Amino acid sequence: MTLESGNASTPVAAATLLWHWPAALAGGLIGSLLWLVTINGPAEIVAAGVAALCIAGTGAGLLRPPSGEQVRARKWAAAFPWRFALAPAAGAGAIVWLAQAVLGGGIFIGMFDALGWALVVFLVVGVAGVLLRDR
C-alpha cells in the first residue's frame, strides 16, 4: 500500500504503517480483562477487547517516533486525523459485529452494538489525531 494523494486506500495504509502491535495487544488484553470484571457476556468482552486493541494500536503508533515510510504516514495522519480514524473504527466495527453474530448477540442487535463501538474508536482515535497533530 502506498500513500498517494487521492488513493482510496490511503487511510488504511496510514493506519497499518503506524500500527504498534505490542501496545495494541496489551491494550486489548487489558480492555478485555477490565470488561470481564463487570460480568458481561462473551460478545461484549470481545467487543471491549477489540475496541481497546484498535485504540491502543493506533494511539501508540501516533506517539512513537516514526521511521522510514512511517514518516509519510504520520504526516498524512496529522493532515487528515478524522479520515485516519476511519480505518481502525471500521475494522473494530466489523470484528465486533462478527463476534456478536457468532457469540450469541444476534445479527441485528450486533450491528447496533458494532456501530456503537466503532463510534467510540472513531472518536477516541480522531481526537488523539487532532491533539497529536503538532507533535
Per-residue pLDDT of the chain (135 residues), as tens digits, is 445 555 555 555 566 566 666 777 777 777 777 766 776 777 777 788 888 888 888 887 788 777 777 777 778 888 888 988 888 899 899 988 988 888 877 788 889 989 999 999 999 999 988 988 776
Q: Is the residue at 111 inside a domain?
A: yes
Angle between helices 107-131 and 81-102 (to 10 degrees): 150
Q: Is the residue at 66 inside a domain?
A: yes
Cα 133 to Cα 13: distance, rounded to the nearest angstrom: 18
> What are all long-range contacts of 6-12, with beta carbons under 8 Å and residues at least 24 apart?
10/76, 10/83, 11/80, 11/83, 11/84, 11/86, 11/87, 12/87
Cα 86 to Cα 23: distance, rounded to the nearest angstrom: 20
Q: Domain span at residue 80? A: 10-131
- The domain total for the chain is 1
Q: Is the residue at 2 inside a domain?
A: no
Read off the C-alpha cell for 48.
471491549
